[in-house]
Every structure is written in C-alpha cells, then in structure tokens.
Chains A and B, each alone.
Chain A
Amino acid sequence: GAVVSQHPSWVICKSGTSVKIECRSLDFQATTMFWYRQFPKQSLMLMATSNEGSKATYEQGVEKDKFLINHASLTLSTLTVTSAHPEDSSFYICSAYKGEGVDTQYFGPGTRLTVL
C-alpha cells in the first residue's frame, strides 16, 4: 500500500495565529513530499517541494517566510502557516513520492484551514 495521512483534517484559527499541518507517509519512506493548496472550484496549485534533510523548494509567488516547511524524517513533513489571515483559508493537501516504479505521488486526505 501507499498511505499518506494528514493532521489535522480541519482547523479553525484566529487571524494572526500560526497553524501547523503534519503529513506522514504511513507505510513507506518518502524522500520527497509536496504541498498543494486548493481554493474552491479551482485546481491544485503546487506550493513547494519538500526533500528530507534539505530546504524546501518553493514555487514562484509562494512566500517561504509565511509557509514554513520542514521535512525532518523520511515519513514526516510539516507545513506551518505563520500569522494566518482569512485569505489563507484553503484546502491544503500534501503528497508523497514513493520512489519506485513510475514515480507516482500519493495524496493525503487534506486539511481544511479556516482563518477567522
């Protein structure tokens, strides 16, 4: 199997606070994980690529100081939304690259963030 979990599944926070989202590969080691954001009725937008033990690579237009990514182990990557504002409210989804065969990404169930 290739199971990816995310925690929490949903979170509501006040404007100005920081929120941490965890992404775990449960039954395989993931050298590379990806973080996406999806606004309602829009497609997935890649935010950053996270490699274990190194700094994340952010896509153009994504603020690296606002969206902190840490990939501390082969099974865990975290995304911290710092000083969240209502416009950061979105569906955040991680995926993990299994690293064998055709390089398929397996997606976590997503985290719905609402910033009040």
Chain B
Amino acid sequence: QKEVEQNSGPLSVPEGAIASLNCTYSDRGSQSFFWYRQYSGKSPELIMFIYSNGDKEDGRFTAQLNKASQYVSLLIRDSQPSDSATYLCAPKGDSSYKLIFGSGTRLLVRP
C-alpha cells in the first residue's frame, strides 16, 4: 500500500463547477496535511494546509480532514481554466519535517 494515494485523473470539470480532489494516507501519525498545486514544468506551490479535523476554507479552496478515516480532500469552488494543474497531497508526520507526496491528481477545467 502506498503511503499517500491520489487518483491520477485527469479529473475534468466545466468552468464554474466544484472540483473535488481526494487523498488517503496510511501513516496514522500524520499531523499536518498540505495541498500543493503544480503546473506542468513548474515547481509546486502551496495552496493550503490543514491540521484539525473538519473543514478549513481559504477563498475558493476548502480543505477537509478526517483523521479517523485517514482522508483529506480539497474542494475548489467556481473552478477556472487557470486551476488546471496537478494537485499534490502531502501529509507530514509529527516528529519529522518531511513531506510525503502523493502522485497527484491532474485537474482539467474546461472553458
């Protein structure tokens, strides 16, 4: 079992729709969860992080965390073509600075 699992996609949604990106992780010791966006040929950029169960909203983005189910998701409201990218989920353990990246989900937002 991979440490971090994401559906590779592509996930295709129309412009203006809600995109839902999911991630499951195996390490129950993970405390913080980061979502990064990576455009083709570029390095990752931080979208948001979450460390408490429940929802966290930041603009059009909402992260959801359920530690009991070892599940974290990212919702993108009012999706725009510029949101088309690969989204990487990265849990972090409590005792380490290391991030373990999932393989990412490719999102395509159709105009």
Minimum distance in angstroms from B82 CB to a CB of chain A: 18
Complex interface: chain A residues within 8 A of B103 (CB) = 42-43
Contacting pair A104 B98 (CB below 8 A):
no
- In the complex, what distance in Å separates the CA atom of A45 from the CA atom of B102? 10
Contacting pair A46 B98 (CB below 8 A):
yes
Contacting pair A44 B49 (CB below 8 A):
no
Q: Select one of A49, A103, A110 contacting B43, CB under 8 A.
A: A110
Residues of chain B in range 51-110 having any CB-CB distance to chain A below 8 Å: 51, 88, 92, 97-104
CB closest residue in chain A, given B102: A43
Contacting pair B88 A43 (CB below 8 A):
yes
For residue A8, CB closer than 8 A to chain B, the reply is no
- In the complex, what distance in Å separates the CA atom of A94 from the CA atom of B49? 19
- Selected A-B contacts with CB under 8 Å, 7 pairs: A43-B104, A44-B88, A46-B101, A93-B44, A102-B32, A102-B49, A107-B43
